[in-house]
Amino acid sequence: MPAEIKKEIELEIGHVLFIDIVGYSKLLIDEQRDYLHTLNEVIKRTDSFRAADAAGKLTRLPTGDGMALVFATTPDAPVSCAIEISNALRSHPELRVRMGIHSGPVSGTTDVNDRSNVAGAGIVSGVPICTTWANAK
């Protein structure tokens, strides 16, 4: 790797919330679209998401059946966001999700579509915190 590229790589600790829809691949295409739309709207309404996004401290990575949200704020930000999502999904019992949280080193990069992305051990794995949040009571 050229020296000038090595100097540009900066690592920070990313606090990642992984979310995916349970049984997504078995849904009809219209259901997949509807569930993703609902999940996106629920997430965008959370205080944790809005605060990190407004501060420029959030990277959103779609995964097809969900997403990874990388918070460059505090370690409790993805936990707070997961709790807010869980509470909001109680009014959508048909939408079951899995969530996992992991913190680790990440480095900002750009993907093939020229969108913000992250790389590093912090994004590679997530620890499940609950199998199905939507049914939590």
Strand segments (E) across 5-126 = 12-21, 58-62, 66-71, 97-110, 116-119
**Residue-level pLDDT at 113:** 83
Instruction: Report domain extents, the chain.
Output: 23-119
Token pair for 73: 């704020």
> What confidence tier does 117 reach under pLDDT thresholds 50, 70, 90?
confident
Q: What pTM, to 2 d.p., does this model score?
A: 0.82
4-30 pLDDT, tens per residue?
A: 544 556 778 889 999 999 999 999 999
Instruction: Please state the rounded mean pLDDT for residues 106-114.
Output: 83
pLDDT above 50 for 131: no
The H-assigned helical ranges of 68-131 are 77-89, 121-124
pLDDT higher than 60, residue 128: no
Question: What pLDDT digit, counting tens, does each position of 65-90 carry?
Answer: 999 999 999 999 999 999 999 999 99
